[in-house]
């Protein structure tokens, strides 16, 4: 659709919608399917250096307010993922972003180096998952650790990479700037935020892992604030993929106005049929009504 084109680093996207990591990105077939359904770019499920089983069921609950999940980073490992990413790059006809995760700073570099063999258009570095930590905290919990991860990845690959950050921090803008200073080319904001559901009748937590990541509509205000603060911190040139609670064209418009260059869509892929095309159609209608010609015109009045 005219006017919806955007750019992330050197990647040209036909529209700003990006399939978020962890949602139907388990293999090449599903990534290609999302591209055919209208996504401007697609992100794979995070892979680690070695295969990982993840948590036991129940791992997810869906309510009208939000989704809560604790999958536990189940994945086949980077060696198998290389083949899936290669196939997706060949068949998707849109930019493919390979998501990686690790359990040490050194391993982030190793996974980045290995996945680079598949030649994804971009790497997304999941430093925000609570299942990975350093001394009991997420790698993105403080600027020093996040920067160390970014530096390890920067030294391991020539492919542009985006650091995925958590909202469960005091100053996400400061952490984003530290990542950029260490070599990150872009920022993905945000990962899910921590939450919990309780079954009062069973007197137990609903999820087997007790705690999980909150996504869906409830996350949007948190994501908007994070993206706005990151844009203020890193300036106008660093691309931001704004992710969290995007399910309509107006959600996407708001996220871009807050400072994002593109919008990650995750839970809404499950909740809404043809979500990518629907979001783009609604964005186009709003822009036509208000006289906007290009996405960069969508800015907040300060």
What is the distance between the terminal CA atoms of the chain, rounded to a whole angstrom? 29
What would the pLDDT profile of 56-73 be if each residue is shown by its tens digit? 888 888 888 888 888 878
Evaluate whether residue 116 is within a structural domain: yes
- The pLDDT value recorded for residue 26 is 81
pLDDT classification of 134: cutoffs 50, 70, 90? low
What would the pLDDT profile of 159-198 be if each residue is shown by its tens digit? 999 999 999 999 999 999 999 999 999 999 999 999 999 9
Evaluate whether residue 108 is within a structural domain: yes
| Domain with 144 in it | 6-297
- The pLDDT value recorded for residue 158 is 98
What would the pLDDT profile of 84-118 be if each residue is shown by its tens digit? 999 999 999 999 999 999 999 999 999 999 999 99
Evaluate whether residue 302 is within a structural domain: no
Evaluate whether residue 1 is within a structural domain: no
**Catalytically annotated residue among 9, 47, 129, 179:** 129
Collapsing DSSP states into helix, strand and coil, what is residue 69?
strand
Please state which of the ranges 27-41, 132-146, 184-198, 204-218 shows the lowest mean pLDDT: 132-146
Structure tokens, 93: 């006809």
Closest-CA residue to 13 (of 82, 92, 85): 92
To which residue do tokens 């919008």 refer? Answer: 263
d(CA 282, CA 287): 9
pLDDT classification of 133: cutoffs 50, 70, 90? low
**Mean pLDDT over residues 283-300, rounded?**
95
Q: Rg (Cα) of the chain, in Å, rounded?
A: 18
**Mean pLDDT over residues 139-149, rounded?**
95
Evaluate whether residue 64 is within a structural domain: yes
- The pLDDT value recorded for residue 73 is 84
Report the percentage of the chain scoring pLDDT > 70: 97
**Mean pLDDT over residues 254-276, rounded?**
95
pLDDT of 1 over the 80 cut:
no
CB atoms within 10 A of CB 161: 28
Number of structural domains in the chain? 1
pLDDT of 135 over the 70 cut:
no
Respond yes or no: is residue 9 known to be catalytic: no
- The pLDDT value recorded for residue 24 is 77
36: domain CATH number? 3.20.20.70
CA distances from 295 to 124, 133, 256, 292 (A): 23, 37, 8, 8
d(CA 26, CA 36): 16
What would the pLDDT profile of 234-264 be if each residue is shown by its tens digit? 999 999 999 999 999 999 999 999 999 999 9
């Amino acid at each position: 659709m005219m006017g919806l084109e955007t750019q992330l680093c050197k990647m040209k996207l036909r529209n700003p919608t990006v399939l978020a990591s962890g949602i139907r990105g388990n293999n090449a077939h599903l990534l290609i399917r999302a591209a055919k359904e209208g996504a401007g770019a697609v992100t794979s499920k995070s892979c680690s250096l070695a295969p990982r089983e993840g948590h036991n069921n129940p791992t997810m609950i869906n309510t009208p307010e939000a989704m809560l999940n604790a999958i536990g980073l189940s994945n086949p490992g980077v060696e198998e993922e290389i083949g899936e990413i290669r196939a997706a790059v060949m068949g998707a006809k849109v930019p493919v972003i390979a998501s990686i995760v690790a359990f040490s700073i050194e391993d982030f570099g190793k996974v980045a180096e290995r996945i680079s063999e598949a030649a994804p258009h971009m790497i997304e570095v999941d430093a925000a998952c609570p299942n990975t930590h350093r001394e009991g905290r997420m790698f993105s919990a403080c600027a020093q650790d996040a920067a160390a991860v970014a530096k390890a990845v920067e030294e391991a690959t020539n492919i542009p990479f985006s650091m995925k950050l958590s909202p469960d921090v005091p100053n996400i803008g400061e952490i984003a700037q530290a990542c950029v200073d260490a070599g990150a080319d872009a920022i993905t904001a945000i990962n899910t935020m921590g939450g919990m559901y309780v079954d009062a009748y069973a007197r137990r937590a609903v999820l087997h892992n007790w705690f999980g990541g909150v996504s869906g509509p409830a996350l949007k205000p948190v994501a908007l604030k994070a993206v706005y603060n990151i844009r203020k911190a890193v300036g106008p040139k660093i691309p931001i993929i704004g992710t969290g609670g995007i399910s309509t064209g107006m959600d996407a418009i708001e996220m871009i106005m807050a400072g994002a260059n593109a919008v990650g869509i995750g839970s809404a892929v499950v909740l809404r049929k043809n979500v990518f095309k629907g979001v783009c159609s609604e964005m186009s209608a709003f822009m036509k009504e208000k006289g906007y010609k290009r996405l960069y015109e969508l800015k907040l009045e300060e």
